[in-house]
């Protein structure tokens, strides 16, 4: 939708759709199902582009609701189309469905015991980022809205997206591939909404931010070439491990001494270093893999340029060689300001005004951003932490856990956003 039109709607004081007794009853009735679905998905997680059983579960559910269903989008993506009793706009709702190569440590009756091979290594598989809750919540919204088509003025497109955590090397996937394959067309989407549960935000609360909400993510690979020699005679070679250490140190000065952090936050992290085979051999090469997170594209450009300059220069100073390749994996998650302002009353209606607040931008990344590059979108955070918790474990960790009592608000909020938007 055109931003000017959105602002006019806002200024005109468009009425929000009230949840009638039947709708409220249907939302409350679906909670137990949402929890059951979430537990089953949690117990049976699947990695990016391999979400076959998860996709089958979603497809079966949407077909049982009488929806038009599309499968195989971006490999394992599933889309359901629900038409209201009257014509109108098209709104999309998105949930991500993939898990992570993390071995779960939680002692839950539905704990994941799944193991698989990832990048040549045997790993555990776990929904360590809450995508199981996102999927179950959207399945619940689909059930509620399918029973209340009389309140839908237009069409709802349910997008269950694979590979949000990134496609395996050599493969395409995720939101960008779904967009490429036309997920926002036929029917053409006017706006899109999405949520992310957060283990460090109390349940029954919602956080959002207009504009840049989450960072762009880039993946970089640095290959260092030295000269192999005996570990007792370092003067006989060129140590790529030493060079790697100097490069890591140098990269951090880009953030600590060159990036204007009062403008926006930025991060450079080296997450993996591979080199050598034996304790007494200085190896010939080393490889580093890491990520760059930025919330401003001008800053991203400057940081990338400095990385390209610094890496080969440092290596040369110590007698070696190094190359760096930087690839963007996720754009900035940007909440359309007009759409956000228009829909905040819906979030407040679902959660209570006192439970909705603005958060600061974060350096985590989300490929929901690729949908937002094509249509206005709003992405918000849903509380998943039990109030009073002493230690809330971060996402992507073996101890990550959420309080299922917070999931019903996700169903309420997504339902409210949908009906309000379509009835404006």
- Per CATH, which fold does 3-214+332-422 belong to? Aminopeptidase (3.40.630)
Q: Do domains 3-214+332-422 and 227-319 have the same CATH topology?
A: no
Q: Which residues contact 186 (CB under 8 A, 6 or more apart)?
A: none
Least Cα distance to 250 among 224, 228, 276, 231 occurs for: 224
Q: Which two tokens stand for residue 385?
A: 């932490």
Asked whether 295 and 218 are in contact (CB, 8 A), the reply is no
Domains in the chain: boundaries: 3-214+332-422, 227-319
Extended strands (E) in 2-100? 68-73, 77-83, 86-96
pLDDT in tens, the chain (424 residues): 455 444 444 444 444 455 667 899 999 999 999 999 999 999 999 999 999 999 999 999 999 999 999 999 999 999 999 999 999 999 999 999 999 999 999 999 999 999 999 989 999 999 999 999 999 999 999 999 999 999 999 999 999 999 999 999 899 999 999 999 999 999 999 999 999 999 999 999 999 999 999 999 999 999 999 999 999 999 999 999 999 999 999 999 999 999 999 999 999 999 999 999 999 999 999 999 999 999 999 999 999 999 999 999 999 999 999 999 999 989 999 999 999 999 999 999 999 999 999 999 999 999 999 999 999 999 999 999 999 888 899 999 999 999 999 999 999 999 999 999 999 9
Q: Are strands 115-118 and 121-124 parallel, antiparallel or unpaired?
A: antiparallel
What three-state secondary structure class fits 201? Answer: strand
Q: Which amino acids are annotated catalytic? A: 98, 164
Residues pairing with 221 in the sheet: 289, 325
Instruction: Give the DSSP per-residue string, 109-177.
Output: TT----EEEETTEEEE-B--SSHHHHHHHHHHHHHHHHT-GGG-EEEEEEEEES-TT-PPTT---HHHH
pTM of the model: 0.88
CATH 3.30.70.360, domain 227-319, yes or no: yes
Residues forming a β-bridge with 357: 207
Distances (CA, A) of 92 to 130, 154, 378: 20, 11, 11
Question: How far apart are alpha carbons 247 and 169 in whole angstroms?
Answer: 24
Comparing CA positions, the residue from 219, 165, 172 lying closest to residue 328 is 219
Element (H, E) at 242: helix 240-253
């Amino acid at each position: 939708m055109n931003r000017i039109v959105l602002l006019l709607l806002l200024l005109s004081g468009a009425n929000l759709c009230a949840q009638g007794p039947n709708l409220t009853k249907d939302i409350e009735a679906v909670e137990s199902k949402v929890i059951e679905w979430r537990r089953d998905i949690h117990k049976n997680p699947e990695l990016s582009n391999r979400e076959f059983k998860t996709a089958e579960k979603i497809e079966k559910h949407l077909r049982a609701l009488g929806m038009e269903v599309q499968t195989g989008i971006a490999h394992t993506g599933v889309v359901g189309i629900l038409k209201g009793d009257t014509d109108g706009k098209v709104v999309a709702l998105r949930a991500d469905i993939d898990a992570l190569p993390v071995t779960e440590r939680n002692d839950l009756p539905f704990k994941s015991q799944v193991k698989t091979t990832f990048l040549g290594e045997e790993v555990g598989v776990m929904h360590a980022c809450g995508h199981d809750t996102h999927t179950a919540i959207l399945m619940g919204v689909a059930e509620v809205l399918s029973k209340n088509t009389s309140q839908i003025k237009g069409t709802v497109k349910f997008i269950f997206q694979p590979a949000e955590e990134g496609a395996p090397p050599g493969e395409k996937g995720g939101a960008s591939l779904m967009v490429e394959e036309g997920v926002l067309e036929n029917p053409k989407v006017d706006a899109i909404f999405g949520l992310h549960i957060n283990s460090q935000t109390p349940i029954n609360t919602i956080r959002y931010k207009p504009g840049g909400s989450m960072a762009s993510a880039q993946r970089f690979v640095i290959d260092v070439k030295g000269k192999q020699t005996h570990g007792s005679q370092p003067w006989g070679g060129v140590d790529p491990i030493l060079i790697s250490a100097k490069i890591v140190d140098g990269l951090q000065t880009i953030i600590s001494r060159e990036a204007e952090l009062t403008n926006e936050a930025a991060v450079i992290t080296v997450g993996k270093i591979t080199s050598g085979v034996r304790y007494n051999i200085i190896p010939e090469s080393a490889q580093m893999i890491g990520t760059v997170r930025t919330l401003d594209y001008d800053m991203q450009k400057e940081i990338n340029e400095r990385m390209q300059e610094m890496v080969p220069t440092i290596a040369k100073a110590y007698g070696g060689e190094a190359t760096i390749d930087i690839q963007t994996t996720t754009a900035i998650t940007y909440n359309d300001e007009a759409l956000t302002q228009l829909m905040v009353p819906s979030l407040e209606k679902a959660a209570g005004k006192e439970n909705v607040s603005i958060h600061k931008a974060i350096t985590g990344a989300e490929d929901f951003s690729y949908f937002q590059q094509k249509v206005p979108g709003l992405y918000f955070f849903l509380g998943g932490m039990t109030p009073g918790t002493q230690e809330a474990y971060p996402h992507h960790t073996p101890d990550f856990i959420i309080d299922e009592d917070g999931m019903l608000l996700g169903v309420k909020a997504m339902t409210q956003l949908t009906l309000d938007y379509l009835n404006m």
